[in-house]
Amino acid sequence: MRTTIFVPGDAAALALGADAVATAISEEAARRGIAIKLVRNGSRGMVWLEPLVEVATPRGRIAYGPVAPAEVPGLFAAGFLTGGVHALCLGPTEEIPWLARQQRLVCRRVGVVDPRSLADYVARGGGEGLRRARAMAPAEIVRAVTESGLRGRGGAAFPAGIKWQTVRATAAPQKYVVCNADEGDSGTFSDRMLMEGDPYCLLEGMAIAGLAVGASQGYIYVRSEYPHAVAALEAALAGAGDFLGNFTIEVRVGAGSYVCGEETALLESIEGKRGIVRAKPPLPAVAGLFGQPTLINNLVTFASVPDILAQGAAAYRDLGCGRSRGTLPFQLAGNIKHGGLVEVPFGLSLRELLYDFGGGSRSGRPLRAVQVGGPLGAYLPEAQFDTLLDYEAFAAIGAGLGHGGIVAFDDTVDLAGQARYAMKFCAIESCGKCTPCRIGSTRGVEVIDRIRAGDGRQIALLEELCETMTQGSLCAMGSMTPIPVLSALRHFAEDFGGKCE
């Protein structure tokens, strides 16, 4: 029997040389006259161990990593095809503590299945949610989503069931389901990993949404920076056969605009226009894509739904804490030793994530600050690391979980520089529709430059400017850019020349 070997085709694994490892394994097997089956799976999310090669054995899948092409002959010599002992051997993959301590729901199949194989997806429990949904009335599906407590995973954390119900209740001959896969926040990659590692889960979630709200057409809007994810989705759609029934899905590729992650700008972009934010109301649920009722959710939101229907809303709701139910795939990024994807129920502390999972900084220096929730998220000092990871606990300290991205910085970071970058990024990416964002961001860069040059009187001006942006901007781009700026100023005043009292 041919041994199955898994070499991830995930973009992070590719960036760390997985293709060369796959080639080396194929060549070495051929040289030795051994027949193998090579599967390009997604990543298990232990990015510091990539390329992580797994071998299927009677004891389960055995992991080796990080594997360099030069080590492949040695692995064969050590009998890795039967799980042989080698310096790179990590034992059974599922027993690696970093993975074993997680509770993976939405990412349960990422890194496990062959993302190109619908049969593999179904063999591992995929399709059950859609099968059940087909036997349910639309209102029952919406009720299950509502009862699960699922909230929008894009960052705003709006209760998903309410959005679904609004679209369902709005009568129209044509409705749409739109997946926001414009994962532009630095420090986030869970959408990418899901698209590359388990694309059928997303397709299934969208098809269920279509049944629930009465839509037959779906769009997935993926950023152009993710060509591998686009290819994975296209391959999955090509192999979907009649899995989705009469629900059709089309992939649309963005074009390098961060603000297109804002839902109304995203809809404009699909319509073929500049990605400029719309004023709300009307909500997209009432008048969205091409003016029709549109259910637009983040990718993780949709991908969470098959499990909710398959396992029941209660099983999902029983996880988490407070009003944050279920799990969130957190992403440990930046200057962190053991970075990657950590899916756990809400309620762990930030410190547990940073140290128990992350292992502290990659550089070995003390962690000084973390930014949670992307470019519009707060910079938190060590004193706030004990905050629990749930939406309300973060809101209480003026921060947000966003899409679950956590970027760690060691003590070489200059928070005044990071505050300046937040304003600069806003200036680069502002769609230009509203003045506080378009002009305020540029003025913000200038004011911070003056502060850094020693003019402490400008601090009050910066605070006023931030207030104008917060209160006066049309969308989160302008209204939330002050969050990283002011949190940096508040918690790391010494970096602003110590004149911030």
Binding footprint of another protein on the chain (CB under 8 A): 11-12, 14-16, 47-48, 50, 183-189, 191-192, 224-227, 229, 252-258, 269-275, 290, 331-336, 339-340, 362-363, 371, 375, 405, 407-410, 413, 418, 421, 425, 428-429
Least separation in angstroms between residue 491's CB and another protein is 16
Least separation in angstroms between residue 321's CB and another protein is 26
Distance CA 391, CA 325 (A): 10
Q: Coil, helix or strand for 281? A: coil
Which residue lies nearer to another protein by CB, 23 or 117? 23
Q: Angle of helix 138-148 relative to helix 160-169, nearest 10 degrees?
A: 160
Which residue lies nearer to another protein by CB, 12 or 310? 12
Least separation in angstroms between residue 70's CB and another protein is 17
Q: Which two tokens stand for residue 310?
A: 């398959």
Which residue lies nearer to another protein by CB, 274 or 280? 274
Which residue lies nearer to another protein by CB, 20 or 169? 20
Which residue lies nearer to another protein by CB, 41 or 418? 418
Least separation in angstroms between residue 20's CB and another protein is 12
Least separation in angstroms between residue 187's CB and another protein is 5
Least separation in angstroms between residue 16's CB and another protein is 5
Least separation in angstroms between residue 405's CB and another protein is 7
Q: Do the Cβ atoms of 176 and 215 come closer than 8 Å? A: yes
Which residues are within 8 A (CB) of 220 and not within 5 positions of it... i.e. 6 or more apart?
A: 178, 179, 181, 202, 206, 233, 249, 250, 251, 252, 299
Distance CA 307, CA 109 (A): 11
Which residue lies nearer to another protein by CB, 227 or 398? 227
Alpha-carbon 29 to chain mean position: 36
Q: How many residues does the chain have?
A: 501
Least separation in angstroms between residue 270's CB and another protein is 5
Least separation in angstroms between residue 445's CB and another protein is 15
Least separation in angstroms between residue 358's CB and another protein is 10
Which residue lies nearer to another protein by CB, 88 or 407? 407
Q: Which two tokens stand for residue 59?
A: 């004891």
Distance CA 53, CA 93 (A): 10
Alpha-carbon 305 to chain mean position: 16
Which residue lies nearer to another protein by CB, 184 or 436? 184
Tell me which DSSP letter residue 291 carries: G
Which residue lies nearer to another protein by CB, 28 or 50? 50
Least separation in angstroms between residue 129's CB and another protein is 26
Q: Do the Cβ atoms of 12 and 189 come closer than 8 Å? A: yes
Q: Do the Cβ atoms of 416 and 491 come closer than 8 Å? A: no
* Helix or strand (DSSP H, E) at 401: none
Q: Coil, helix or strand for 342? A: strand
Decide the pairing of beta strands 340-345 and 327-334: antiparallel
Which residues are within 8 A (CB) of 370 and not within 5 positions of it... i.e. 6 or more apart?
A: 334, 350, 354, 379, 380, 385, 406, 407, 408, 409
CA atoms within 13 Å, Cβ hemisphere of 310? 19
Q: How far is CA 488 from CA 380, 439, 491, in A?
A: 8, 21, 5
Paired strand residues for 296: 178
Q: Position 17: which residue type?
A: G
Distance CA 204, CA 373 (A): 27
Q: Which two tokens stand for residue 66?
A: 């990080």
Which residue lies nearer to another protein by CB, 307 or 429? 429
Which residue lies nearer to another protein by CB, 267 or 309? 267
